[in-house]
Amino acid sequence: MSNRVVCREASHAGSWYSASGSQLNAQLEGWLSQAQSSIRPARAIIAPHAGYTYCGACAAHAYKQVDPTVTRRVFILGPSHHVPLSRCALSPADIYRTPLYDLRIDQKVYADLWKTGLFERMSVQTDEDEHSIEMHLPYTAKAMESHKDEFSIVPVLVGALSESKEQEYGKLLSKYLADPSNLFIISSDFCHWGQRFRYTYYDESQGEIYRSIEHLDKMGMSIIEQLDPMSFTNYLKKYRNTICGRHPIGVLLNVSATEEQVWIQVFRVPRWIQ
């Protein structure tokens, strides 16, 4: 049996964000310095996965809520952009590289998830092609740097799940969210508007197009923050909003209720092109 350590390279470094550790660190520190800590420690955050030129400042507001003194495991749920999935998939890697430092996948949790039979295994190529999880790795590394040898990550690639599948995965992950040492990061940009995305919903009563998009997204955010999966499903059915992380969000909303109140704070970057 091979003991070879499998590493996922930081494949989007140098294009979607800086490949220079010192430059990236300075950028993250700058964005974080402008953000306020309001509900720390967060148990779950929803943050964007666009290039840092577009979302770096926005994502800082989410990661400012992370408390490294209590967090020991970080679940990162991101949507699949490049391969069709009807279930969720786990990485074949042991290590995720970032320009700051390497992140270690929690193989014990992975082993427990494998035993359920509910997960597929993605290839290294699929893993490195996908950006939805990777865009959260530098921020995770930065937020946790004071305890960088004391935490692990659990990356999960989420497919186009049915409502029943979202409920099934939510129930499965509920025991992990119930543990206050676990943090859930949900990777999602919000409305992708324009002909390129085949979505041109426009509520003229809101004024200009961007106002309509903002109103639509904020409507969805309000529902998400109520932790009501059925209302979120009905919202998506009604407006067809192109929230590319809607299935990871659906999984989170379906996590079984715990004794503790779980606060979710959403940070949005819309993408709209005529």
pLDDT of 262 higher than 50: yes
Please give the single-letter amino acid code of residue 172.
L
- Write down the pLDDT at residue 265: 52
Residue 130 CA: distances (Å) to CA of 9, 41, 83, 183: 11, 28, 9, 21
Location of structure tokens 């192109």: 242
Give every CB contact of residue 52 below 8 A, 6+ residues apart in sequence: 16, 17, 18, 27, 59, 135
Task: Give the H/E segment covering residue 207.
Answer: none
Mean pLDDT, the chain, whole residue set = 91
- Write down the pLDDT at residue 256: 52
Q: What is the mean pLDDT of residues 153-164?
A: 97
- Write down the pLDDT at residue 225: 86
Question: Confidence band (pLDDT; 50, 70, 90) for 1?
Answer: very low
